[in-house]
Amino acid sequence: MGEKTEKLLSILKLQPVVPVLIVDDVKSGVLLARALVAGGLKAIEITMRTPAALDTVRAVAQEVEGAEVGAGTILDAKQWDAAIAAGSKFVVSPGATQELLDAASASPVPLLPGAATASEVMALREEGYKVLKFFPAEQAGGAAYLKALSSPLAGTLFCPTGGISLKNANDYLSLPNVICVGGSWVAPKELVAAGDWGGITKLASEAAALKA
């Protein structure tokens, strides 16, 4: 587990913000990934919420130089296997089940599992996980909640995701137990629809300049 933790940390430490993307077609997904990488956001999470998601992970892994692409919203072992086969460098889940943890333990690819309570964090620590996704961050108590966990659950690092924007990102990034945040604001639907890749690169540059 130690080696996988280091692998995951090396990806998450690339930048203070990991883009969390919902993609509708492969072509725009590749162009979007290129725009984000150009702005300094190399680690990219593509969520498995659309029919095009898996093919987009595969295309980004093969075609976008500098990208560290991960698959998000992975819920079970079948989805895990598909994500790994598509070339995911890391996998993100909103929570954790034993089935998913078993699939992850048999793979060299690191998992960033989600947790929202102290008990969930403790259960994942028992499984060897030291780096977790705090989800849904704002709805589960926000930066104040996560700060309260930092002392009793020392040694656990988080990537908060859910309701995070440029406006409140620093509230999380200033916490000692936060390594980065996940956010969708760097890829607004209207800019993607308009093909405004320059605008997305600008948003990515602003996000990359935040202090983790």
Of 31, 63, 56, 62, residue with least CA distance to 71: 56
User: What CA–CA distances, in Å, run from 162 to 18, 56, 65, 123, 129?
Assistant: 12, 22, 28, 22, 21
Domain residue ranges in the chain? 2-205
Query: Which residues are designated catalytic?
Result: 45, 133
Two structure tokens written together for 114: 């989600």
33 and 65 Cβ atoms separated by less than 8 Å: no
Q: Using the predicted structure, report yes or no on whether residue 212 has a pLDDT greater than 90.
A: no
Q: Considering the entire predicted model, what is its pTM?
A: 0.97
Question: Which 3 state secondary structure label does DSSP give 23?
Answer: coil
CA pair distance 72, 68, nearest whole angstrom: 13
pLDDT band at residue 75, thresholds of 50, 70 and 90?
A: very high
Q: Tell me the residue type at 141.
A: G
181 and 173 Cβ atoms separated by less than 8 Å: yes
The pLDDT tens digits for 13-53 are 999 999 999 999 999 999 999 999 999 999 999 999 999 99
The pLDDT tens digits for 115-147 are 999 999 999 999 999 999 999 999 999 999 999
CATH hierarchy code of domain 2-205 = 3.20.20.70
pLDDT at 1: 84
Beta bridge partners of 158: 132, 178
pLDDT at 18: 98
